[in-house]
Every structure is written in C-alpha cells, then in structure tokens.
Structure 1
Amino acid sequence: MWTIVLCAVAVLVVYYTHWINKWRNPKCNVVLPPGSMGLPIIGETLELIIPSYSLDLHPFIKKRIQRFGPIFRTNILGRPAVVSADPEINSYIFQNEGKLVEMWYMDTFAKLFAQSGESRTNAFGIIHKYARSLTLTHFGSESLKERLLPQVENIVSKSLQMWSSNALVDVKPAISIMVCDFTAKQLFSYDAETATDKISEKFTKVIDAFMCLPLNIPGTTYNKCLKDKDSTLNILRNTLKERMNSPAESRGGDFLDQVIADMDKEKFLTEDFVVNLIFGILFASFESISAALTLALKLIGDHPSVLEELTVEHEAILKKRENPDSPLTWAEYNSMTFTLQVINETLRLGNVAPGLLRRSLQDIQVKGYTIPAGWVIMVVNSALHLNPTTFQDPLEFNPWRWKEFDSYAVSKNLMPFGGGRRQCAGSEFTKLLMAIFLHKLVTKYRWNIIKQGSIGRNPILGFGDGIHIGFSPKDN
C-alpha cells in the first residue's frame, strides 16, 4: 500500500516539476529575452503589486533590470510579457503602433471598458483616428486658447475658494473631483451642483481596481468596482438616450452632441461605443491629472526655493496688467517659463503607471531577441525619465534642470504622455490645468502642508494616507 502511495506521489512530483519547468521556460524556436516567468498561473504579479514608497522605479522593474538588463521577460496574471526600459526599443515600439503592436490593458482594466463582443479599446485605423481627432477638437491647443482657458480658471478659482473654508483638505480626492466634474461638463454638459448622481465619487472607487486581481466574487474590491463601473455606464447611457431624443436645435454643441451628429455617418459609433468612449476619457483625465497635480503640490511644498521663484513669476504677470483681477490670457499662459519647468519636472518624477502596455501582433526582432506574437510588451517610460546619464541626481526635484533642454531634447527625454500614434490627446489640457492651478494658488492663497502622506507606487503612483493642505486667502 505504501509503495503505491509513494509511487503516486513520485509521479505527481515529476509531473508538476515538468509542468513548472515548461511554464518557466516557454518553448520557442527563437531567442527570448532573459527573465523568469514566476509561479504558474499568477506569474510574477504579486511582486508587481507590492507597494513601494519611493518615486524611483518600482522594485519589481529595477531589480530585474539590474539582473537581466533593460529588456527582460516575465509573466503577469498568466500573460507572458516582455518589459523594456531600453529607449531605442521603446521608440521603435511607439513608431510601429498598428503595424507590429496594438494597445493592450491588463485583464482587470480591459474588462472595465469591455462592451459586447471584442473590446474596442484596441482599435486602430479609422476608429482611433476619429476618437483622437474628436478629443483634440474639444481639448487640444486651439480649444484651450479659444474656449477652455477662462473655464479652467473659473473652476480652479471656485475650488480653491471652497477649500479655503476648511481647516485642511486631502488634495488628491479634492483635485480628482474638480477634474472629473470639469471634464464631464465638457463631454456631456454635466452639472455637478445639480446632479443627484456624483460621477466623481464612483470613479474614485473604480480606480481602486486598476491593478487588483480580477476576482469577480461578492465582497472583493474588483466586484465592488464592477458595480460602480456599471452604475456609471448606466448614467452615461441614460444621458446619451435623453440627448438623442431631444430636439437637435436644443443641443449646445458639446462633445456628446458632436458624436451624436456623427452616428449616422460612422457605423462603429454604436451607443455602447459612445458610452465607453466617454467613460474612458473621464477615467484617463480623472486619475492622471489629479495624481500629477497632487505630486506637484507636495514637491513644491517641500522645496521653498521653487515656491519662491514660482511666486515671483506669477506676481510679475499680475503687475504687468492694468487690472490685476482681469482674466488670464493665452499670452500670459505662454509666458510661464519656470512654471512649465516645474510641470516638466513633476511629470518626469510622477509617472502614474509603471509602464505603457502593448501587445505584439507578430514576432518582433529587437537587439538579438524575439518578442513572440501575442505577448504583452510593457514600455517603461519611467526608466527614461530616471536615467542618471541624462538627469543628474534623477530622484531630486530640480525644475531648473530643464533650462538646459531645448524643445527637441525635451520631447526626446520626457514622455509622460506616451509616444507615437497613441500619445495622449489631452497632454496640453493637463499642462494648462496644472499651470492655471499654480497661478491662482501662489497669487491668491497661502498654503502649507499639514499632514505629509507617503508617496509611492503600488505600482500606480499613490499617496498613502493622503496629502493634507491648509489654504487661506492672501490679504489684498
């Protein structure tokens, strides 16, 4: 009896050892990048989601770069992946969007935007061209100059005034609400003051599931997130139906009105696609802008010399006006040289996500290695931003370093908004909102950080217990 049991155990050990060995060493007729596939099924996911309390590269990535070099293989949630911190490879990947690679999200994130049938978040060609063109129409440079600048100044002024009535403000969620409400207003004329459903509150919960395990079990973070996502999509879907049933002459010409006008021309503009498109734009602006601006406040607060030079620059703008209280102009915005340096330095240090994800459409040959078709590619832009060869003391917050960079060098060494055909269409909107916020803050308010929260990555940029700031109006 014992002999049979021991034989059975031996067979199982041999079987699982062989299975694990096959998992860790995928059978390919090509040379794969060095690396490890981790544990069966979950791969190395657990190491990726361990929090890191630093603005440096996440330890998951940094340790493997030190061990394997700037390109290595791994496995995330059962998906074989190649991680690249090599600037040449990353540039090559971006240049071949739609040819060699396509957009890809981790399963958790992809399901948040999934519709019936295949997810359209991976679409290229006419669909991506349309979505990008529409976004630039409403949030690009021309729209910022002609229409959005005074609106951004107004929402920032109202927000700061409201925050100054409180003893302290947890700025990350507060900025998130401001950004979400403003973006929703531009997209579908959402009025946060009269709305019964607070979209910003739902998005705050959705972000919690960005990197969690996709276990749709009652009580889990992911399950709760899906409920909030479905609730938000229902709000957007009802808004779309109401707008489609309203008289054309009553529409104000916002983002949603333009999409509705195009629905008869473009077959891909189904109701589900429109709803998910708006959800995606809201999600992207909600998290990225609020994280970057919160980090800026924390870093500026920790560096009095930066705050001093910012204040000098913005008070000089007011002194040149006939009326100091007149609205901000486009020329004044473009004169904010040091402010842009502060924004660039914040974006350099504050990569919101650990990397940008793509999926290979065919075998890709790079520097003697092959990335097999169907594998995920994580492009680690933060490695470019923290390169000590380019940036002396790369973890030091030093806005003055950008004086040495011309526009070409900036575009080559700073890619917080991605690159290639998928470069974020809201990049200029992000910079403008941050600049106007800093302008109103340093000219109209005194502020101090009352509670320092920890800054780190899990692997998304996070702020621990929050950054709590007290605001008070300056004496006129």
Structure 2
Amino acid sequence: MGLCIVAVLVMYVFHWIIILKDPKFRNRSSLPPGSLGIPFIGETLQFMIPSYSLDIHPFITKRIQRFGPIFRTSLFGQSIVISTDSEFNSYLMQQEGKLVELWAGPATKIFRQSDGSGIPFSNIHKYIRSITLNHIGAECIREKLISQFEEMFIKTLHQWTTQTSIDVKQSLTKMNFRFFAKHYFGYDIENLSSNLERISEELFTDFTEGLKTIPLNIPRTNYHKCLKEWRKAFKIIKNILEERRNLSEKYGGDFLNQAINDMEKDKIMNDDQIVYLVLGIWFANSASISSMAQLIFKFLSEYPSVVEELRVEHEQILRSRDKSRTSSLTWNEYKSMKFTQHVMNETLRFSILLPGILRKTLKDIHFKEYIIPANWIILAFTPNLHMNSEIYEDPLTFNPWRWKMWTKIKGGKVVRNPILEFSDRIHIKIWENREKT
C-alpha cells in the first residue's frame, strides 16, 4: 500500500512538472475553463460510465452546467477542448485546412502505415469521399444497389423465420459484412474464406472495445488485443489486394479494382493506405448499420402506431403496382416512401454513433475570450443539436411525424415546418463550405 501511494505521488508530481513546462499552459487564464482530472487518466473514467438514456451523456451535461458551452478536459491521455457552442462549431468547419485539420483520435494509432507514419487524412480526404460516393452514392443506389439490398434482406428475413430467436446486431453485422465483401471485393457469399469471415466476428468487436480504452499497448488490455486483431485483418486484406492486382480484369469496376487503378495511375495512395481505407469503411458500415437497426427495432416495438403507418404506406405501394409485374423495388417506389424516411430521420436523430467531429488545431485559435493553442484537439460536439428543445418539441420522444411537411397560415403567410427550415439552413451552409474548400 505504501509503495502504491508513493508511486501515485511521483506520477502526480511529474504530471504537473510536464504541464508547467509546456508553453501552452503558461497562460492558462485564456484557456477555456475545465478540469484535466487525475494524472494521465484525466476524466476518462467518468466519460466511459455508460448512460442508459437516449439523452446527452451526463458527462457532457454536467460540465456544460459547470463551465459553459466550451470547456477543456483530458480523455484517453489527450488534452481536449469540447465545444457545444453552435457558433464556434460552425466557425471550425469554415477553417478546415486553415486553422484546423481532421484528426482521428485513438484510431490514428491503429490506422497506421507499415513505415510507422500516420495516414495523411487531410491530404487524401477528398479522394476518400470521391471513391466512396462513386460506389455507395445516390447514383449507384439508384442503378444497382436497391435490387441488391432487397435480395439480401429477403434472404436474411427468410433465414430468420427458421430461428426461434435472433440476435439482431450480430445477424445484421454478418449480413452487412457479406454484402460489403461482395460489393467491394467481388467475393460471393458462398466463397468467403474462413479468415475473411472472421473479421466480422472478432475484429470489429475488439476494435470497438479498444477505442473505448486508454491507448496503452500493454498485454491483456483491450487496446493491445485490438491492435493484435487489427494486424491480422491487415494481412488478410493485403493478401486480397495482392491477388486482385494480378486478376483485376475479372472484377470489372468494383471498389478495390478502382483503388488499385487509381494508385497505379495517379499515385494517390499506396497499398497500406488502401488496406486501411477498406478496413475503415468496412468498420464504419458495420458499426453504423447494426446500431441503427437496433434502435429501429427498439422504437418499432414500443410504438405500434408507427408500425401501422409503415404497413399502410408499403401496402399502398404494392397495390399501385401493375398486377403482372413481379420485378424488384424501383427507385420511384423507394422515393415514394415518405413516412419510412421520416422514421429513418427520427432514428438518426437519436443515433449518436460518434460524439462529434474531431479536429486538431494548426494555429492558435482566438474565439471570444478564449485562446486554444496550436496542436490541441477540439471535439465539436453535435448531438446537443439533436436534443435541443428549441428545435425539436419534446426531443426525447420518438415522433416520426415531426418530420412531415406541414404548412399553416400565419398572418397571411405560409409557414413551413421549422425543423425542416433549420435542416435546410444547415445543409446549405455545409455545401457552401464544401464549395469553398
């Protein structure tokens, strides 16, 4: 016990020596208010306490009440400023590449090239957007993915009917994994290798758990296990990439084929970066779809009136079909699912897959009375917009009808749904910023 106490005191002293020597802490009065917690660990333990509410995590709520909308803390061994101020967050997005750059958090140490340097996210971000939208964008969905999605879901639902119970998250993770393998790699479901299929079973679970811990690469920790599994997955995808380079003519223009052609033509990315890109998109798809599906099942089980309106909408689509036609779902039918889209919008509003947008400061940022030094991390916290009672009436209630277009006469003027008006302003601002950058 005595040795433990001495060790803690030594750590505490060295922690403050490092802080006091750091120039960015010399003028602490200009930093946003907050607390860095205990040495090295910071406030990570409080941040990781699970919340069983769909509302904003108590960690954020308590600090907003104590310090205001912009505060500093220390998470996962990293000093960080968290902002729930919509004005400041909007300003950050406008300063992309000028005052701030994309930062990937703990994942940066996992998404790492073989030569030890991190992936240059800011340099290849446009290319990632381009190649991703090319294969899963609206045009691709309209032309071929709708029919493929429908076929996949029918097979999955048929399998469910033969089972007494279903683990929704696990089942949909497998379904998404197999679709991804076919769409991105050209692998048929029947021909998946055991090594490739193991990625969905072990890797993504370990990776998610690893990101939730302090990034210390010590044996038996979740982070160490995460890195170990990630290296195995890297080798599997790297082997597929090398095989494909010799057999690319058989696969046409799928995702992996385009990445290889672009690499050989424009030298945009190297082999390792392509592998990390594939794994990153794969993980993002798996995490987002399975989490969204869980929320949808939860809400549909709790709100039978929503299920009934969905049923009416889809039966209406079936009745409007030509009786002689047995083809799959069409783009026009998909676009006509108005209430279905409202259900998706409302579910997305509750679905906090990520706490916000991470950026690293390139220069000192002056905002109001605060100065955020260069090389600091900023988390632009966005979920507070989804739970803002000034935008959404009774925000903790699942209400898809809030997304319906409605008009009313007020003082002789036609007034649109204020939620949609706010959404339009946000989207217009985003696209304006994209055009500038």
TM-score, normalised via structure 1 length = 0.79
- CA pair 86-325 structure 1, distance change in 2 beyond 3 A: farther
The residue type paired with residue 160 of structure 1 is: L
**Where does structure 2 lack aligned partners over 5 or more consecutive residues?**
1-5, 405-416
Stretch of structure 1 that moved more, 177-186 or 399-408: 399-408
Q: Within the alignment, does 1:186 sit opposite 2:183 as a pair?
A: yes
Q: How far 1:159 moved relative to its partner? A: 1.0
Overall identity of the aligned pairs, in %: 46
Taking the TM superposition and a 5 Å limit, the aligned residue runs for 1:13-28 are 19=17, 22=20, 26-28=25-27
The residue type paired with residue 77 of structure 1 is: F
- CA pair 102-275 structure 1, distance change in 2 beyond 3 A: same
Taking the TM superposition and a 5 Å limit, the aligned residue runs for 1:378-457 are 378-403=379-404, 404-405=417-418, 407-412=420-425
Q: Give per-residue Cα distances to partners, 1:306-326, cap 9 Å, x unaligned.
A: 111111111111110114743
Q: Give per-residue Cα distances to partners, 1:243-293, cap 9 Å, x unaligned.
A: 1122x4323221111111122222242111111111111011110121112
Q: How far 1:407 moved relative to its partner? A: 5.0
Match of 1:184, SS? helix
Match of 1:265, SS? helix
In the alignment, what sits opposite 1:129?
126
In the alignment, what sits opposite 1:112?
110
- CA pair 312-372 structure 1, distance change in 2 beyond 3 A: same
In the alignment, what sits opposite 1:328?
329
Taking the TM superposition and a 5 Å limit, the aligned residue runs for 1:264-343 are 264-323=264-323, 325-343=326-344
**What is the distance in 2 between the residues matched to 1:183 and 1:14?**
48
**Where does structure 1 lack aligned partners over 5 or more consecutive residues?**
1-7, 423-476
> Aligned-residue CA RMSD in angstroms?
2.8
The residue type paired with residue 352 of structure 1 is: L
The residue type paired with residue 63 of structure 1 is: K
Match of 2:191, SS? coil
Residues 186 and 251, structure 2, Cα contact 8 Å, conserved in 1: no
The residue type paired with residue 88 of structure 1 is: E
Q: Give per-residue Cα distances to partners, 1:159-206, cap 9 Å, x unaligned.
A: 111112111111112111212221232211133332222131132332
Match of 1:82, SS? strand
Q: How far 1:368 moved relative to its partner? A: 2.5
In the alignment, what sits opposite 1:211?
212
In the alignment, what sits opposite 2:368?
367
The residue type paired with residue 154 of structure 1 is: E
Higher relative contact order (CA 8 A, sep 6+): 1
**What is the distance in 2 between the residues matched to 1:13 and 1:234?**
38
**What is the distance in 1 between the residues matched to 2:110 and 2:12?**
40
Q: Give per-residue Cα distances to partners, 1:6-55, cap 9 Å, x unaligned.
A: xx9xx989957965985999323761111111111121111111111111
**What is the distance in 2 between the residues matched to 1:193 and 1:35?**
54
Residues 76 and 213, structure 2, Cα contact 8 Å, conserved in 1: no
- CA pair 148-15 structure 1, distance change in 2 beyond 3 A: closer
Residues 385 and 414, structure 1, Cα contact 8 Å, conserved in 2: no
The number of residues matched between the two structures is: 408
The residue type paired with residue 422 of structure 2 is: A
Residues 360 and 376, structure 2, Cα contact 8 Å, conserved in 1: yes
**What is the distance in 1 between the residues matched to 2:16 and 2:126?**
47
In the alignment, what sits opposite 1:354?
355
Q: How far 1:220 moved relative to its partner? A: 2.1
**What is the distance in 1 between the residues matched to 2:165 and 2:419?**
39
The residue type paired with residue 393 of structure 2 is: Q
Residues 169 and 294, structure 2, Cα contact 8 Å, conserved in 1: yes
Taking the TM superposition and a 5 Å limit, the aligned residue runs for 1:46-195 are 46-107=45-106, 109-115=107-113, 116-120=115-119, 122-125=120-123, 127-195=124-192
Residues 100 and 359, structure 2, Cα contact 8 Å, conserved in 1: yes
Structure with the bigger percentage of helix: 2
Match of 2:371, SS? strand
Match of 2:71, SS? strand
In the alignment, what sits opposite 2:257?
257
The residue type paired with residue 266 of structure 2 is: E
Residues 97 and 420, structure 1, Cα contact 8 Å, conserved in 2: no
